[in-house]
Structure 1
Amino acid sequence: MRPPIDSGTVLITGASSGIGRELARQLARRARTLVLVARREERLEVLRDELLEHNPTLGVMVERCDLSHPDEVDSLLDSLHRHLVRVDVLVNSAGLGDYSLYEQESWARIHQMVQVNVTAPLLLTHRLLRRMVERKRGGILNISSGGARTFVPGLAVYAATKHFLDGFTESLRLELMGTGVVVTQVAPGPVDTEFSEVAGTQERVGKAPAWMRISAAQCAREALEGFDRAQPLVHPGMAYRWMMRLSALMPRGVLRAEGLPAARQLRYGTSLLEPAHPDTGQRVLLAGGPEGA
């Protein structure tokens, strides 16, 4: 069973950049209509023009939506209903993350991460899934993170949201067996996007070795290949895939021990305990969790 991508309508959150943008580029060759959702409307319009230049028969809808506000998500869904748009495939690609000690993080930022990474996918899936089940065809592609299967000091909230998405996706997949709705989770490792460069993630958490990093285009391609095969879980990149397979065999205590050096560096390293900017604080967008919200 394959998700109804070909000649279908696909909604992509986080489409303004990173993995979400690459998914849109690759899906444009197959879908009938793409609904591009993100907070930065101007970027979506540039992407729309690019997609139409190469795919003139493609239908493209641009929907500005700040996923951290559930009322805007409701407005997005109401807009689709008014325009008689029937979503065949939902791609939850938007995500936010901060690199910070938990007690130094502002509650507003924590709440924003939870809204984008947890509430928005739940709400979109809940509103769109029933019609998919009724039609006996549909697809849900959730872009998670390798952090969903391990412990990440400095990214406690981000990791927690991805652990949630992991449990939700796996459980939902079991519920939907036999309904015609395909559910796949993609859990990338280090992915080269603009966010890691602009935010300086490499300097803060250590740059991943080149043999482990992949491009956003490769990540999107392998994600869609796994989705087409109805795989439950996709780890893009051969090296990272094998690392995650080995990690799954490790006792929980070993995973804790692996994270301890990074935790100690974050807590006691002088360069990482400098005061945050009074207005912005410590703000890091993760390459593995494309923002675009």
Structure 2
Amino acid sequence: MNTQTVLITGASNGIGKELAYHFARDKYSLILVARSVDKLEMLAAELREKYAVGVKVKAKDISNEDAIHQLAQEMKDENVKVDVLVNNAGYGLYGDFVETDVKDELGMIDLNVRSLTLLSKLFLPGMLERDRGGILNVASVAAFMPGPFMAVYYATKAFVLSFSEALANEVKGTNVTVSALCPGPTETGFGDRADLGKSKLFDGSLSSAASVAQVAYQEFKKGKVIIVPGLQNKFLTRLIRFLPRKAVTNIVRSVQAKK
């Protein structure tokens, strides 16, 4: 029987929620973290009934550093060892940088970068001490390129990718792995939160959160460092390596231009 525990941030919907099903199916105990306690409780009840696993709900706003330290302390007090950390929580923001709300931009950096870094800092040492487990950081295909009209979001995901690759190298030779998931446009609440209805980016076909999570889980279990679901996304991330950066930036601008 699996005795490992996974902590998933942003677990109330989208990719985080879909990943919870995969871990529960493999009999992991789960710690579900998000701001929406009602959604978390509904998911927890479903997972307990369907998969007979232990599920803890932690309704916290992890863009707040104090909330993260509180979460870590609760894990310690409850004698819970986090074997796998899924840093899924994050959001984007669409619009010209000079026009977007600076509070939203800085809040995005706090959640997408600072919170992910702090959670990794707090839980990775225990994984290494026990010599098992891993971290799955949700980045994006945006991590591979600059993103006009979503400048800060793309930059935060570039951090996540670089950070994940570096950590994966540092833990090489142990039984701990670090992976970066880099999906393309996906059917989650992300587009609505980012106000992407104004952009041409989400006019095309979107991947389902379930299909992204399935690939992510399979590749993470294999220890793959960079996980890019979908053939088109794989092709894109390889192609841009051979194009001038100016050309890549102009292409992204045209794709993300307002309708």
Indicate if the aligned counterparts of 2:180 and 2:227 stay in contact, CA closer than 8 A: yes
Percent identical pairs in the alignment equals 37
Number of the residue aligned with 1:138: 133
Scaled by the length of structure 1, the TM-score of the pair is 0.83
Q: How does 1:216-235 map to 2 (within 5 A)?
A: 216-235=209-228
Indicate if the aligned counterparts of 1:9 and 1:31 stay in contact, CA closer than 8 A: no
Q: Label 1:164 to 1:31 Cα distance change in 2 as closer, same or farther (>3 A).
A: same
Distance 1:91 1:255 in 2: 30
Q: RMSD across aligned C-alpha pairs, in angstroms?
A: 1.9
1:14 and 2:4 aligned: no
Scaled by the length of structure 2, the TM-score of the pair is 0.94
Indicate if the aligned counterparts of 1:19 and 1:216 stay in contact, CA closer than 8 A: yes
Structure 1 unaligned spans of 5+: 272-293
Q: How does 1:21-100 map to 2 (within 5 A)?
A: 21-56=17-52, 58-100=53-95
Q: Deviations over 1:28-85 (max 9, x none)?
A: 11133100000111110010011112112x0000001101110011111111110000
- Equivalent residue for 1:190, pick from 177, 185, 189: 185
Structure 2 unaligned spans of 5+: none
Number of the residue aligned with 1:279: none
- Equivalent residue for 2:175, pick from 174, 180, 183: 180
Larger Rg: 1
Give the 3-state SS of the residue equivalent to 1:248 in structure 2.
helix
Give the 3-state SS of the residue equivalent to 1:207 in structure 2.
helix
Q: Label 1:254 to 1:188 Cα distance change in 2 as closer, same or farther (>3 A).
A: same
CA shift for structure 1 position 174: 0.8
CA shift for structure 1 position 173: 0.8
Specify which structure has the bigger relative contact order, considering alpha-carbon pairs within 8 angstroms and separated by 6 or more residues: 1
Number of the residue aligned with 1:278: none
Q: Deviations over 1:180-214 (max 9, x none)?
A: 2111110000111244367662442343432xx21
CA shift for structure 1 position 260: 4.0
Aligned residues: 259
Distance 1:46 1:70 in 2: 26
Higher helix share: 2
Letter in 2 for 1:248: R
